[in-house]
Amino acid sequence: MIGSTTKPFTAYTLLSMAEEGKVDINKSVGCYIKDLSPILSNVTASQLLSHTAGLKEDSGDYEKDKWDVESGLEEYIRTLNDSSFFTDPGEIFSYSNTGFSLIGYLAQTVGGKPYPDAVDERILKPVGMNNSTFYLETAVTHPMSMGHIGNASINVTVYRPFEEDVPEWPAGYLFSNVNYMGRFATALMNNGTLDGKQVLSSRVINEMSTPHTPLYSYYPDGSYGYGLILHNYRGVDVVEHGGNLEGFSCVFKMVPEHKFALIILDNGADRNMPNSTKKAFELMLPLKSEVQPKPMETNESEMIRYVGNYSMEQNQNPQPENITSVTIKDNKLMIKTKDREVALEKVGKDQFTQTIPENPEPMHIRFMPSKDGRIKYLHTGFRAFPKIES
């Protein structure tokens, strides 16, 4: 299972339909999907593809494994409403699986066939990804890895049962393997050409890999295209999209200028192999010397500006696990989530880094002010969390 690396497949599928005139990605989705709530009806496919629709993560009525394979995607979309938003559409980039579920259903609606069949017809078969599938019943008829959970401090065990999360198929549930993903990467880096044939649209690939919104955090100077992350790493332009699920991880990075791709599939959760990735890039690419940002001084009055609780759950009493807190401790700015508390180091205006043991490189976060200068969002891990006003 390749997790969120499914998103480029979903994006390509809808954009290829747009190329054929079946859908206009700049029109409201309500033009194509009827009986949606007012705000949901007015978002555009472009906003959904670029994660700027303002949707929360995993919105709506959400219980895994309760959804029927044939009707579950539509039934889930019908549970979404105006409370599924944490901010106005178009205001800020914030990664949302829910948005890509809606993209998948839009493709299903305008294409007139089930979402998995549309992906199969427009990408999997042309690229030769013959046994890649969304259907668990099909996947288990082939030799298949078993997902694992746990780490050095927890017993590693097989993850059971296998997830079949139909509402999030378009966001992250494609079964594939490293050879098939290599074919997909080759086609993307060669403007849709593979084995001497034009198998994908060069125009659609260009649209996917064009910057549409800043990322703000994680890769602070990076951008999001449509289903692809774009950033510069030590002098080379990287196009990528990773994936994580319970039991599985996927690294999918391309450097088109050098016709280089790195693909790592791991049957363990949250194992993005950062050291292996870094070493592979150093061995294969003409990288510039690594330069870490120098920490800057932060005075107490400046730190106070950032202190507070942040959550997407603004209009209800958020549960503690849904709150990220920023505090001052021992004259240091600290960020606390349900998992850990880490010190922040300032590296620029409203920009900070945090260092966690499992990642060899600092994680970038940013505080986003409103027009009056007060902090409105904490942006971390590709997501925007509004400040809770006391």
Q: Residue 139: inside a domain, yes or no?
A: yes
Look up residue 79 and give its two tokens: 């549970």
Do both 208 and 355 map to the same domain? no
The burial class, CB within 10 Å (0-12 / 13-18 / 19+), for 62 is middle
Question: 89 or 359: whose pLDDT is higher?
Answer: 89
Question: Radius of gyration of the chain from Cα atoms?
Answer: 21
> Omega of the bond prior to 161 within 30 degrees of 0, cis?
yes
CATH code, domain carrying 96: 3.40.710.10
Identify the pLDDT of residue 22. Answer: 98
| Residues 293, 298, 300: CA angle, nearest 5 degrees | 160
Confirm whether 76 is domain-assigned.
yes
pLDDT band at 329 (very low <50, low <70, confident <90, very high): very high
In a domain, 95, yes or no: yes
State whether residue 347 is helix, strand or coil.
strand
Residue 270 lies in a domain: no
pLDDT attached to residue 389: 80
How far is it, in rounded angstroms, from Cα 60 to Cα 90?
20
**228 and 304 together in one domain:** no
pLDDT-based confidence at 320, cuts 50/70/90? confident
State mean pLDDT over 26-55.
97
Give the closest residue to 378 by CA, choosing from 341, 315, 347, 336. 336
My answer on whether 219 and 91 are in the same domain is: yes
Q: Assign residue 380 a region: left if phi > 0, alpha if psi is -120 to 50, beta otherwise? A: beta
pLDDT score, position 362: 82
DSSP state of 124: I
274 lies in a domain? no
Q: Does 115 map to a domain?
A: yes
Mean pLDDT, the chain, whole residue set: 92
d(CA 282, CA 288): 9
Q: How confident is the model at residue 161 (pLDDT cuts 50, 70, 90)?
A: confident
CA gap 111, 136 in Å, rounded = 23
| Domain match, 12 and 155 both | yes
Q: Is 114 found in the same domain as 224?
A: yes
pLDDT at 80 over 70: yes
Residues 325 and 216 grouped into a single domain: no
Q: In a 10 Å sphere around its CB, with 0-12 CB exposed, 13-18 middle and 19+ buried, how is residue 344 labelled? A: buried
Domain C-terminal end among 199, 216, 232: 232
Of the listed ranges 49-58, 63-72, 119-128, 159-168, the one predicted with least confidence:
63-72
> Residue 113's pLDDT is what?
96
* Band of residue 152 on the pLDDT scale cut at 50, 70, 90: low
Burial of 42 (0-12, 13-18, 19+ CB in 10 A): middle
Domain ranges, residue 193 = 3-176+187-232
Do 29 and 167 fall within a single domain? yes
Burial of 193 (0-12, 13-18, 19+ CB in 10 A): middle
Give the model's confidence band at 54: pLDDT under 50 very low, under 70 low, under 90 confident, else very high: very high
Q: What is the pLDDT of residues 333-380, one digit of tens each?
A: 999 988 789 999 999 999 999 887 666 678 899 999 999 999 999 999
pLDDT band at residue 67 under the 50/70/90 scheme:
confident
Q: What would the DSSP string read from start to end of 167-207?
A: GGHHHH--B--HHHHHHHHHHHHTTTEETTEE-S-HHHHHH
Q: Give yes or no: residues 159 and 30 share one domain.
A: yes
Residue 324 lies in a domain: yes
> Is pLDDT of 60 > 90?
no
Residue 235, pLDDT > 90, answer yes
- Residue 315 confidence (pLDDT) above 80: no
Does 218 share its domain with 307? Answer: no
Contact of 386 with 312, CB cutoff 8 Å? yes
Q: How many domains does the chain have?
A: 2
Q: Does the residue 312 lie in any domain?
A: yes
Do 224 and 133 have their domain in common? yes
Same domain? 227 vs 314: no
- Whole-angstrom Cα distance, residue 237 to residue 6? 21
Residues 172 and 318 reside in one and the same domain: no
Say yes or no to pLDDT of 317 above 90.
no
* Beta carbons of 359 and 376 less than 8 angstroms apart: no
